[in-house]
Amino acid sequence: MKFFARRIAFYALTAWAAVTINFLIPRMMPGDPVIALIGRMQGRIDSNAANSIRILFGLDKDMNIWQQYVEYWKLLFQGDLGLSFTFFPTPVIDIVRQTLPWTIGLVGVSTIIAFTIGTLLGMGIGWRRGTWADGLLPVTTFFSAVPYFWLGLIAIAVFAVWLGWFPSSGSYDRGLVPEFSWEFIRSVIYYGTLPALTVILSSIAGWILGMRNMMVTVSSEDYVTVAQAKGLKERTVVFGYAARNAILPQVSSFALSLGFIVGGTLIMEMVFSYQGIGFTLFQAVSSQDYPLMQGCFLVITLSVLGANIIADFVYAALDPRTRQEG
């Protein structure tokens, strides 16, 4: 269990670092835009809320930085991330709670699809190296070099504006009431298809490339040659011997590239006006809503950490070496 102990210690450290960064950033910034904002909201903001914003942004000059830090943690444990200025007077935590499921749904589904298809494709291409399948590589290189949001723009222009197959923005039909009905779910899927496809298209290249390179390396290992020489079926050699080992780095790079993918997907939400946390972050940035910005960053980071922990469990399930004692 040493593996898990180490990983848990690491994630605790990362979570602490994320919170501390979040604490330090507004304190290191020159000027004080938050004071101006509070001034503008004078009279509309109750003293309790104003106080928590002061703590979050370090406006209390009579406290030293350490006291501020302790107060900050206290607020976080109460789930108090301050009030949003854009959606005044909704607490940030409520906004985040509403938008997070949409993002997790969109990013989760499309990332899993991209990972699965990409790994399978990469496996095939790596195994049949030197055939027509290598021709796919330049195409994937191109897609990995394109910014996510631009691909989104093109997708909207072609499929929503020109062909009219999909809606260009939003996440469900505004005429429907959000409820657990077949009609509503269908609408969510219909609105989510275009953003999801764009995310898949732009992130799949990395998985294909990574898996292919690992397959090339692994297929020249001795145990693969032995398996082949024993006369095992091609299927068994590919899945049981080569891919089984080639997928390990793929899973650990999944954990590392998650932050990058999430970043790209957030921008995608902005392009599609999809009501997830990325779109909220975008609104917060454009209206200079600092509490909301900070809250979004914190929640995004913690979610990425959560996904990383899951990836670690998968890794441990795939690689028996991590489960060895000692």
31 binds other proteins (CB under 8 A): yes
Q: How many Å apart are CA 110 and CA 195, to the nearest integer?
A: 9
Which residues, numbered 278-307, are part of the site for other proteins (CB under 8 A)?
281-282, 284-286, 288, 290, 293-294, 296-297, 300-301, 304-305
163 binds other proteins (CB under 8 A): no
**Helix, strand, coil shares, percent, the chain, to 5:** 75, 0, 20
8 binds other proteins (CB under 8 A): no
Which residues, numbered 93-152, are part of the site for other proteins (CB under 8 A)?
129-132, 134, 141-142, 144-147, 149-150
214 binds other proteins (CB under 8 A): no
159 binds other proteins (CB under 8 A): no
- By CB under 8 A, name the one of 67, 181, 220, 324 that touches other proteins: 220
Q: How far is it between the farthest Cα atoms of the chain?
A: 81
Q: Is 130 left (phi over 0), alpha (psi -120 to 50) or beta?
A: left
Residues whose CB is less than 8 angstroms from the CB of residue 241 and which lie 6 or more positions away in sequence, other chains included? 223, 224, 227, 232
13 binds other proteins (CB under 8 A): yes
Q: Which is nearer to other proteins, 199 or 224 (CB)?
A: 224
Stretch that binds other proteins, among 65-73, 86-94, 180-188, 266-274 (CB under 8 A): 266-274
Q: What one-character-per-residue DSSP string does 186-214 give?
A: HHHHHHHHHHHHHHHHHHHHHHHHHHHHH
Q: Which is nearer to other proteins, 170 or 178 (CB)?
A: 170
Q: What one-character-per-residue DSSP string does 119-185 give?
A: HHHHHHHHHTTTSGGGGHHHHHHHHHHS-HHHHHHHHIIIIIIIS--S-SS-SS-TTS--SS-HHHH
Stretch that binds other proteins, among 22-30, 65-73, 97-105, 181-189 (CB under 8 A): 22-30
Q: How many Å apart are CA 88 and CA 59, to the nearest integer?
A: 20
260 binds other proteins (CB under 8 A): yes
Q: Which is nearer to other proteins, 9 or 176 (CB)?
A: 9
Q: Which is nearer to other proteins, 95 or 296 (CB)?
A: 296
- C-beta of 29: minimal distance to other proteins in Å? 5
Q: Which is nearer to other proteins, 112 or 185 (CB)?
A: 112
Q: Is 83 helix (H, G, I), strand (E, B) or coil?
A: strand
